[in-house]
Amino acid sequence: MKSPIPLYNGDVLQLTEPQVGISQNLSFNYASCSGITILRPDIRCSLRGINTIEITIALPDSAGTKIPADTLFSFSIIQIQNPPSTKPSSNFGLTVFDNQGNLLAKLTDDQSHLSKFVLSATQPSSLLYASVVSESRVPKSPTLLKFMIITQHELPARSSIVIKLPKLLGINKEQLSCWVSTDPGRDTNKNKALCPLTPNADGSSTLIIKEVNSLKLIGGTTITFEIKGLVNAAVTTLSDSFTILTQTSEGFGIDQQNEGLVVSAACNYPCTTCPVNQPDVCRTCDQASDAPKPIYFKS
């Protein structure tokens, strides 16, 4: 940062963290801050109140006792928690005092250069838990997929769940429908939800379950949802993983799961049932007129 006025050894920068979603935990006054440019690496910082950090200016002997006005200097602070989503926080506040406690300068929100003085998470956090179960594993047949997730962070009202579907699964768009519950202990609380489907450039599709919750949900909430209208693959190859992302109504990511959510058919088509680990041995077969005839049958 740059100061509009000169700064001297002992002057104090009072940095106020944004109120929403930010917390500070300074375990050690000296170890939590570090000077990078111009400042000493062992600068002192301390916590004042709930969300204000005080950084004391300290220069190495080689730099003298003064930072001239409009001179770039930098420092780092550890133990600051990211916002709960990728939505940028509100602005930090910054006030400068001399070593006697007299006010020297104060930055206010109406100053345009503060538009980037915010904290942003570059990617969503991880869900605490995520699972998927396919109700039917008959190849080339419709199935109902049942998902369960446990959120890590708060879900603001009218949040959405974004699911990227594996390319291996078929989609019957006419039958596509979604149901969601934020009270999985009571199946009667399942609600039908809008879930528009969008094709992706890589051949996969993304489905968005809209407005999952009418009210804010705390972190650690269990959410179940079902997707009807998907079709199993023709072979037992494991699908790519589903990816799941919770996001705010404005489209900012909250929690995600990108691996481990796979499904597969139990047999290779045209077998509809088969012994375990023998996907080409048909106990029963698809009798549809266009189904290829099995090479052999074993009971």
Per residue in 154-204, pLDDT (tens digit) is: 999 999 999 999 999 999 999 999 999 988 666 567 889 999 999 999 889
pLDDT band at 61 (very low <50, low <70, confident <90, very high): confident
pLDDT: which is higher, 246 or 291:
246
| Burial (Cβ within 10 Å: 0-12, 13-18, ≥19) of residue 75 | buried
The rounded distance, in Å, linking the Cα atoms of 228 and 178 is 6
* Section 54-73 average pLDDT: 89
Q: Which CATH number fits domain 125-266: 3.40.1010.10, 1.10.357.10, 3.30.499.10, 2.60.40.290?
A: 2.60.40.290
> Please, where in the chain does CATH 2.60.40.290 lie?
125-266
76-86 pLDDT, tens digit per residue, is 887 777 788 88
The answer to whether 173 and 104 are in contact (CB under 8 A) is no
State residue 208's pLDDT score.
96
pTM of the predicted model over 0.75: yes
pLDDT band at 247 (very low <50, low <70, confident <90, very high): very high
* Section 262-268 average pLDDT: 95
Q: In sequence order, which residues have a C-beta less than 8 Å from that of residue 113 and are 6 or more positions away?
A: none
pLDDT band at 28 (very low <50, low <70, confident <90, very high): very low
Return the closest-CA partner of residue 213 out of 149, 138, 295, 133.
Answer: 149
Amino acid at 106: K
The answer to whether 131 and 148 are in contact (CB under 8 A) is yes
Backbone angles phi, psi at 112, to 5 degrees: -60, -30
The rounded distance, in Å, linking the Cα atoms of 46 and 185 is 46
State residue 109's pLDDT score.
56
* Section 282-286 average pLDDT: 89
Q: Which residues pair with 56 in a beta bridge?
A: 12, 44
State residue 81's pLDDT score.
75
State residue 30's pLDDT score.
44
pLDDT band at 112 (very low <50, low <70, confident <90, very high): low
For residue 17, pLDDT over 80 is answered with no
State residue 157's pLDDT score.
95
The answer to whether 2 and 111 are in contact (CB under 8 A) is no
State residue 273's pLDDT score.
93
For residue 134, pLDDT over 60 is answered with yes
State residue 293's pLDDT score.
61
